[in-house]
C-alpha cells in the first residue's frame, strides 16, 4: 500500500498538471450540463406531478421507479441509445439524478402546511396565483433537499458513465488508464480528488443554500 503522504504528494502534483485539470474540467462540464437538465426536468415534472392529481396518479409511480434505479444501471441503455460518447454520459447523469428531484418537488408541493394554505386563501389567493405565489415558494426547502441529493447521485452516475464509456476525455478515463497500468498510488490519488471535488461542491454550495433556506423557512 502506498503511504498517505505519497498519495498526498501525488494529489498536489496532479492538481498542477494541465492535462489532468483538463480532464477534470471535461468531467465537470458534463456534470453541469447534466445537472442543468436535472434542475429543469426534475423541478418541472415535479411541479406538474404535485399540481395535477391525475398526472401524479399516472406518472407518480414512474418518478419513484426512476428515483429507485441506481444511476449506473442507466449506462448500458445510454450507450445503446447514443453510442460511446459524451451524450451517453450526460443522459446517465440526467436519469440518475432527476428522479429524486421530481419526487421531492412533488411531495413538497403536496405537503404545504395547511395553515399556510388557509392564510393564503383568506387573502384571496386561488388557482394558478396560489400555486406560484404560495405553494411553490413553500415547497422550496424540499426542492433544495432534492437538488442536494441529486448532486450526489449525479456525481456517482457521471463516474459510472465515464468509466463504462471509457473513450472520452475525463476523470473516468483517467481512472481506467491508471488501473490498467496497475498504478495504485496514482489511482488512489485520483479517487481522493474525485471524492474531494464532490464534497467541496456539496459543502460550498448545497449545504450553504440548504442551511440558509432551512433557517429562513423555519424548517430546521
For 170, phi and psi rounded to 5 degrees? 155, 180
* Region near other proteins per CB under 8 A, out of 65-73, 82-90, 122-130, 155-163: 122-130
- 85-115 in b/e form (b: 16+ CB < 10 A) is ebebbbbbbbbbbbbbbbbbbbbbbbebeee
Please, what is the minimum distance in Å from the beta carbon of residue 218 to other proteins? 5
Binding-site member from 122, 127, 180, 182 for other proteins (CB under 8 A): 122
- 68 contacts: CB under 8 Å, gap ≥ 6: 99
**Closer residue to other proteins (CB): 95 or 144:** 144
**Closer residue to other proteins (CB): 200 or 208:** 208
Please, what is the minimum distance in Å from the beta carbon of residue 67 to other proteins? 26
Round the CA-based radius of gyration of the chain to a whole number and report it: 20
Closest CA to 141 of 201, 209, 199, 43: 209
Q: State how far the alpha carbon of 10 is from the alpha carbons of 16, 20, 147, 192, 193, in Å.
A: 10, 12, 32, 10, 10
Should residue 111 be labelled a site residue for other proteins when binding is judged by CB under 8 A?
no
Question: What are the grid coordinates assigned to 134, written together?
Answer: 404560495
**Closer residue to other proteins (CB): 55 or 213:** 213
Binding-site member from 53, 207, 211, 216 for other proteins (CB under 8 A): 216
Q: Residues 50, 111: contact at Cβ < 8 Å?
A: no
**Closer residue to other proteins (CB): 136 or 193:** 136
Binding-site member from 16, 115, 128, 182 for other proteins (CB under 8 A): 115
Please, what is the minimum distance in Å from the beta carbon of residue 46 to other proteins? 18
Count of chain residues binding other proteins (CB under 8 A): 20
Environment class of residue 191 by beta-carbon count within 10 Å: exposed (0-12), middle (13-18) or buried (19+)?
Answer: middle
Binding-site member from 1, 3, 80, 124 for other proteins (CB under 8 A): 124
- Residues 127 to 156: which contact other proteins by CB under 8 A? 129, 133-134, 137-138, 140
Should residue 215 be labelled a site residue for other proteins when binding is judged by CB under 8 A?
yes
Should residue 123 be labelled a site residue for other proteins when binding is judged by CB under 8 A?
yes
SS3 content of the chain, % helix, strand, coil (to 5): 85, 0, 15
**Closer residue to other proteins (CB): 19 or 124:** 124
Nearest-angstrom CA–CA distance, 126 and 124: 6
Residues that bind other proteins (CB under 8 A): 115-116, 118-125, 129, 133-134, 137-138, 140, 215-218
Amino acid at each position: 500500500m502506498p503511504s498517505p503522504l505519497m498519495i498526498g504528494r501525488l494529489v498536489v502534483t496532479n492538481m498542477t498538471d494541465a492535462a489532468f485539470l483538463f480532464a477534470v474540467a471535461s468531467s465537470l462540464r458534463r456534470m453541469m450540463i447534466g445537472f442543468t437538465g436535472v434542475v429543469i426536468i426534475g423541478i418541472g415534472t415535479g411541479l406538474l406531478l404535485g399540481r395535477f392529481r391525475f398526472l401524479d396518479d399516472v406518472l407518480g409511480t414512474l418518478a419513484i421507479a426512476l428515483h429507485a434505479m441506481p444511476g449506473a444501471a442507466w449506462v448500458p441503455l445510454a450507450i445503446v441509445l447514443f453510442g460511446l460518447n459524451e451524450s451517453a454520459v450526460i443522459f446517465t447523469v440526467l436519469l440518475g439524478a432527476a428522479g429524486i428531484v421530481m419526487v421531492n418537488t412533488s411531495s413538497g408541493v403536496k405537503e404545504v402546511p395547511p395553515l399556510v394554505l388557509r392564510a393564503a386563501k383568506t387573502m384571496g389567493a386561488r388557482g394558478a396565483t396560489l400555486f406560484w405565489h404560495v405553494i411553490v415558494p413553500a415547497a422550496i426547502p424540499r426542492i433544495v433537499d432534492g437538488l442536494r441529493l441529486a448532486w450526489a447521485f449525479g456525481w456517482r452516475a457521471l463516474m459510472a458513465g465515464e468509466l463504462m464509456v471509457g473513450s472520452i476525455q475525463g476523470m473516468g478515463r483517467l481512472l481506467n488508464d491508471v488501473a490498467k497500468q496497475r498504478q495504485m498510488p496514482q489511482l488512489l490519488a485520483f479517487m481522493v480528488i474525485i471524492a474531494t471535488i464532490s464534497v467541496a461542491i456539496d459543502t460550498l454550495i448545497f449545504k450553504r443554500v440548504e442551511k440558509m433556506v432551512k433557517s429562513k423557512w423555519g424548517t430546521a
